[in-house]
Amino acid sequence: MRRVSFNENWHFQEQTITLPHDAMIHEKRRADAVCTGAGAYFPDGSYIYEKTFQRPEAQHVLLQFEGVYKNARVFLNGKEAGGAAYGYIPFFINADEYLVDGENTIRVECAVEHPDSRWYSGAGIYRPVWLWEGPEDSIEPESVRISTVSCEPAVIRVQSDKAVCVEAAGVTGEGTDFTLTIPEARLWSEDDPYLYTAKVTNGADSEEIKFGIRKLTWSPKGLLVNGKETLLRGGCVHHDNGILGTATYDESEWRRVRLLKAAGFNAIRSAHNPCSRAMLEACDALGVYVMDETWDMWFSHKSKLDYAGQWRENYMADIKAMVSRDFNHPSVILYSIGNEVSEPSKPEGLEVEREMVDALHALDPSRPVTAGFNLMIIANAAKGKGIYKEDGSGRDEGGDKALTGMNSTLFNMITSIVGTGMNKAANSKKADAVTTPAMDMLDICGYNYASGRYPMEGKAHPDRIVVGSETFPQDIARNWAMVKKYPYLVGDFMWTAWDYIGEAGIGAWAYTPDGKGFNKPYPWLLADTGALDILGDPNGECFHASAVWDKLDAPAICVQPINHDVKPARMVWRGTNAIPSWSWHGCYGKKATVEVYFNAARIELVQNGAKVGSAKVKDCKAVFKVKYLPGKLTAIAYDASGREIGRSSLDSAGIAKITLLPEKTEARPGEIVYVPVVMADAKGNVECNADRKLRVTVEGGELLAFGSANPRTEERFDSGEYTTYYGRALAVVRVGESGVARVTAGDGVGAAEVEISIV
């Protein structure tokens, strides 16, 4: 079948829009919003999208929705044609019986009622929509499955719902289930993400499918990709795209994967829902492994109105939809059946877990099944001290009165107090005994905040394979040392790789009085955690991980913000708030904490040509206390023999002006372009203490969003006005159909302009 975009000319609230579209990001945030900081103080709502279109001439027509949040109902010419309750799962509508000759009308209804998600969910048709057209006997989308039988020789297996002819790499086969031997094959991996294209035909119908030749094996001796031991340098990623809200543009997903790969990550955990098609395609092409996750809950609520109330009737269909879409993506190497659920503490939960694992094995035996299990949650729930009631308002029934009122927010609050000591909370033999039944069902056991168990498991469970599915970023050096030491520990996924909207302030190092508590009040907006902020700019967490993974060519210098007169209130989901800058106007003589990351024995710090410190490196990090003096700050790295092995510098900015730095200067019609807007001098040095409120306008295109990484603000991403944060902001522009797109940023005093050619 032929796939065509169905994203243009939708009508929404008396506007004509182009999908994808996050309806919630355009709402006005409120201090009294029911979702509180979990949903970033956005209100809930019901939304309607409509579109008129001409019936295609094809005999068979499908509509594919990649994601609608949530409770989607689709009507064609007034008749209900289908939908999906879960907001993160793709679904198809067979339009054949509903379409009429000539003009047709489609209507999509969706609604979000808070308290729903534990993070910012967004709302509406936030992922793309496609129209598929073909002959009556079409090759249905996702009906042809390609897997790898062996690597030497390279043999692939083709399975189809109907007889097809497949040509790939010069060899051809046909039928419903057959194999092809690929000569001189290139194997897909993170180092060589080579993709083949299979041309599939059935009579007059045809389609092309990209696939990789990639074989997974796993045992307590390790995770092997094409026979090579592979350690997962992972990060957890939420589904929003920062200042765009949850609107899922292909360019945004590719950009995120590209930046994460450049930082040293080779794996992404889609937390806590199936990721987008575009992210999978980017991971396929760029060589990043994916742990694709299903849900944040099963049948017990974490929030009163979350998906748990609809989960039982949909969970098996959700699994089938995810596998159907993901099967041909070589980047997907793990299926996760959930995050931090308490149900495996009970017989019913174990029964459901077994059913899901068996279903995934039947649907796709080529990939292992895991889960992000918090062992402490399961162990406590087994003792009647669960943190969730069935309705999500408090703890499970039958528990300790001391835990009355416990819910996911309070649990996170306690975690923030306990800190990294949580890693040892499930170390006891009793905890091991009650969690073992759930763990034994998984191919690879995902541990959330249970790194204290890592050294024990080789002896306690010699057949067990473990992955750190969610870990504190400041533990990266200790965790990675264990990943390299224990063959059964195959990787580490830090929380998080990229900052996100909602769970407001969960990782903040806050300088304001309202930042001292966990459940931060309005106007807190972002989680303020992540190796990269919502603009995609790396920070100390990122450089520390890169150093631990030995992915830095030179020492990286970061500095904790100097332009504050109070010590920050620190949250446990961030190990440092340092950023790569030595430009703090007006801070002359103030004390500065400088962090240098590199795999070295010793770091020497030089300020304006004079040595100001020397320190041993511990866990790829050295820390210095110096006075801030504008100029040049240089870090020199030495090995154990005293030989210099690298150096780098940061320079203070001179006269800082508004500067636009488009990530590309040519774009196709309708393409998305990212335009960083910074306060920088002529050499590109960004000034971190001269923030301004700027206004961005676009001619020959559309401004989709403009904002900064400020975690606490009342400003809106859709207003065109925003204040830089530590000297940085970002505009996202959709270019027009021809000519040039002209982007201007100014504050009434100064301005800057760039042009993007439309080719």
Triad 135, 140, 142: Cα angle to 5°? 155
Question: What pairs with residue 676 in β-bridges?
Answer: 730
* Residue indicated by tokens 């689709």: 74
Burial annotation 277-297 (CB, 10 A radius, 16+ → b, else e) = bbbbbbbbbbbbbbbbbbbbb
DSSP H or E stretch at residue 408 = helix 408-418
CA pair distance 318, 575, nearest whole angstrom = 36
The Cα diameter of the chain in Å comes to 80
3-class state of residue 48 by DSSP: strand
Query: By the 8 A CB rule, do 92 and 133 touch?
Result: no
3-class DSSP state for residue 61?
A: strand
114 within 8 A of 305, measured Cβ to Cβ? yes
CA atoms within 13 A on the CB side of 84: 22
- What's the CATH code of the domain at 433? 3.20.20.80
For residues 270 and 411, state if they share a domain. Answer: yes
Place of tokens 């990623």: 237
Q: How many folded domains does the chain comprise? A: 5
Q: In angstroms, rounded to a whole number, what is the distance separating the alpha carbons of residues 223 and 283?
A: 19
Q: Check: CB of residue 261 under 8 Å from CB of residue 287.
A: yes
The neighbour count for residue 738, using CB atoms within 10 Å, is 9
Nearest C-alpha neighbor of 504 from the set 478, 482, 523, 484: 523
Contact indicator for 419, 451 with CB cutoff of 8 Å: no
| 233 in Cβ contact with 287 (< 8 Å) | no
| Token pair in block for residue 75 | 């009507």
Cβ–Cβ under 8 Å, residues 163 and 175: yes
Which residue type is seen at 203? G
pLDDT tens-digit series, residues 450-500: 999 999 999 999 999 999 999 999 999 999 999 999 999 999 999 999 999
Ranges of residues in the chain with a pLDDT under 70 are 386-419
DSSP codes joined into one string, 618-656? BTTEEEEEEE--SSEEEEEEE-TTS-EEEEEEEE--SS-
- Which of 343, 288, 334, 298 minimizes the C-alpha distance to 318? 298
The whole-angstrom separation of Cα 387 and Cα 143 is 41
Q: Are 409 and 427 members of one domain? A: yes
Asked if 324 and 393 sit in the same domain, the reply is yes
212 occurs within a structural domain: no
Residue in the block written with tokens 């070589």: 330
Distance (Å, whole) CA 79 – CA 98: 7
Same domain, 564 and 433: no
H/E stretch holding 418 reads helix 408-418
Q: DSSP H helical segments within 265-364, as ranges?
A: 277-286, 308-326, 347-363
Residues 663 and 632 in one domain: no
- Are the CB atoms for 44 and 113 separated by under 8 Å? yes
For residues 62 and 83, what is the distance between their CA atoms, to the nearest angstrom? Answer: 13
Looking at the DSSP bridge assignments, the partners of residue 75 are 80, 107
Which among 74, 105, 134 is the end of a domain? 134
Cα–Cα distance measured from residue 354 to residue 82, given in angstroms and rounded to the nearest whole number:
29
How far is residue 20 from each of residues 67, 68, 283, measured CA to CA in Å? Answer: 9, 10, 20
Q: Note whether 392 and 301 are within 8 A (CB).
A: yes
Encoded amino acid at 651, one letter = D
State whether 478 and 401 are in the same domain: yes
Q: Are residues 290 and 433 in the same domain?
A: yes
Contacts of the segment 316-324: beta carbons below 8 A, 24+ positions apart: 316/355, 316/356, 316/359, 318/86, 318/89, 318/294, 319/294, 319/356, 319/359, 319/360, 319/363, 320/359, 320/363, 321/89, 321/90, 321/91, 322/89, 322/274, 322/292, 322/294, 323/360, 323/363, 323/364, 324/142
Q: Report pLDDT for 409.
A: 58
Is 464 a domain residue?
yes
Last residue of a domain, one of 471, 497, 523: 497
Q: What is the Cα–Cα distance from 290 to 292, expressed in whole angstroms?
A: 6
704, amino acid identity: L
Whether 676 and 613 share a structural domain: no
Alpha carbon distance 369, 191 (integer Å): 24
Angle (CA) 547-423-222 rounded to 5° is 60
Is 453 within a domain? Answer: yes
Q: What is the pLDDT of residue 405?
A: 40
For strand 72-76 and strand 2-5, is the pairing parallel, antiparallel, or unpaired?
unpaired
End-to-end Cα, the chain, rounded Å? 29
Could you give the CA distance from residue 757 to residue 600 in angstroms, rounded to a whole number?
Answer: 45
DSSP single-letter state for residue 188: P
- Asked whether residue 641 is domain-assigned, the answer is yes
Return mean pLDDT, the chain.
Answer: 95
What does the alpha-carbon distance between residue 698 and residue 63 come to, in Å, rounded to a whole number? 33
Interacting residues of 641 by C-beta distance below 8 A, sequence separation 6+: none
Do both 25 and 115 map to the same domain?
Answer: yes
Spatial distance between the Cα atoms of 525 and 24, rounded to a whole number of angstroms: 14
Beta strands in 10-44 (DSSP E): 10-12, 15-17
Q: Which residue has the tokens 């000759």?
A: 101
The parent domain of residue 14 ranges over 2-134
The answer to whether residues 74 and 28 belong to one domain is yes
Q: Is 232 among the domain residues?
A: no
Domain edge (last residue) among 91, 114, 134: 134
Is residue 226 a part of any domain in this protein? no
Q: Which pLDDT score is estimated for 529? A: 95
CATH number at residue 641: 2.60.40.10
Q: What is the pLDDT of residue 388?
A: 60
Which CATH number covers residue 81?
Answer: 2.60.120.260
The residues pairing with 178 across neighbouring beta strands, listed in sequence order, are 158
Would you say residue 24 lies in a domain? Answer: yes
In degrees and rounded to multiples of 5, residue 651 shows phi and psi of -115, 145
* Residues 486 and 390 both lie in one domain: yes
Is the residue at 679 inside a domain?
A: yes
Which residues partner with 297 through β-bridges? none
pLDDT tens, residue by residue, 24-73: 999 999 999 999 999 999 999 999 999 999 999 999 999 999 999 999 99
Model confidence over 542-584: pLDDT tens digits? 999 999 999 999 999 999 999 999 999 999 999 999 999 999 9
CA distances from 468 to 368, 475, 476, 561 (A): 15, 11, 11, 31
Same domain flag for 47 and 125: yes
Would you call 320 exposed, middle or buried from its count of C-beta atoms within 10 A (0-12, 13-18, 19+)?
A: middle
For the packed helices 429-440 and 347-363, what is the interaxial angle rounded to 10 degrees? Answer: 40
Q: Is the pTM of this model over 0.85?
A: yes
